[in-house]
Amino acid sequence: MKSKTLIIAALSLILCTSYGKTNTQKQDKNLQRTFNNPIFPKVGPDPWALMHDGNYYYMHTMKDSLVLWVTNDITKVQNAKRKTIWIPSDPKNSKNLWAPEIHFIGGKWYVYYAADDGNTDNHQLYVLENSNKNPLEGNFVMKGRVSTDKDNNWAIDGSVFENKGKCYMVWSGWQTRRVDVETQCIYVAAMSNPWTLSSERVLISKPEFEWETKYINKNGWTPSHKILVNEGPQPLTSPRGKYIHIAYSASGCWTPYYSLGLLTAKTSDNLLDPTSWKKSTKPVFVQSPENGVYGTGHNSFFKSPDGKEDYILYHARDTETDPPGNKDTRTPRIQKFSWDKNDFPIFGVPVSTTVLLSKPSGTTIE
Contact 215, 256 (CB under 8 A): no
> For residues 304 and 337, what is the distance between their CA atoms, to the nearest angstrom?
11
C-alpha dist (Å) from residue 298 to 44, 147, 260, 326, 330: 11, 23, 8, 19, 10
- Chain Cα centroid distance, residue 38: 13
Peptide bond into 38 cis (omega under 30): yes
| Catalytic sites, residue numbers | 46, 231
> For residues 212 and 206, what is the distance between their CA atoms, to the nearest angstrom?
9
SS3 35: strand
Contact 214, 285 (CB under 8 A): no
19: Cβ contacts below 8 Å, ≥ 6 apart? none
> For residues 317 and 137, what is the distance between their CA atoms, to the nearest angstrom?
34
Contact 142, 126 (CB under 8 A): yes
Report the helix count and the strand count for the chain, using DSSP H and E: 1, 24
